[in-house]
Amino acid sequence: MCNKEGYREDKGLTAKKQKRRPETRCGCKARFQVHIVLRSHLWHATKFKDFHNHELQIGMHSVLVASHRKMDECDIMQMNRLRKAGIDTLDIYNSFASKLGGYLNVQFGKKKNMYNQISRQRRLGGSDGASAIEFLRVLTLNDL
């Protein structure tokens, strides 16, 4: 379905005094449905409606759609190398922006995507005793 499908559910929060976020959904009926045949591992489209009742995001605004904000493997590897060099996360994000010609050209967000990827990398790095001993061994080699 389109990311503007349906309408926001009213949860009775209108009585609160806090400011509501702007409405982003407009009841778009565009849809693409796929059926997968398990035996042959083939798929075919069963429904396709290409009519949108809103303008599509084009060009530099398409990265604002949540499904388009992802870090690819190359970005993750570069981020990890810069982190190992001791560079701050904000500076890493700024280096991506300067390399790509501006913040609008970066395909992922600093807060959500980059910090989530860093926490994912920390979890994958291991937190057992062997990795702690290896970390301390590397520190002693650097001190010599």
- For 63-82, the three-class secondary structure string (H helix, E strand, C coil) is HHCHHHCCCCHHHHHHHHHH
**pLDDT, mean of residues 106-119:** 81
Same domain, 48 and 117: no
DSSP letter at 109 equals -
Q: Which of 56, 78, 97 represents a domain boundary (last residue)? A: 56
Residue 77 shares a structural domain with residue 141: yes
**144: in domain:** yes
pLDDT at 132: 74
Q: Is residue 75 part of a domain?
A: yes
Percentage, residues of the chain above pLDDT 70: 72
Domain that holds residue 36: 1-56
Give just the sign of the alpha carbon dihedral 20, 21, 27, 31: negative
Mean pLDDT of the chain: 77
76 and 141 co-located in one domain: yes
Same domain? For 88 and 137 the reply is yes
pLDDT at residue 129, rounded to an integer: 72
Reported pTM = 0.50
Q: Is residue 140 part of a domain?
A: yes
63 close to 104: Cβ distance less than 8 angstroms: yes
Tell me, yes or no, whether 74 and 139 share the same domain. yes
Domain-embedded: residue 114: yes
- The total domain count for the chain is 2
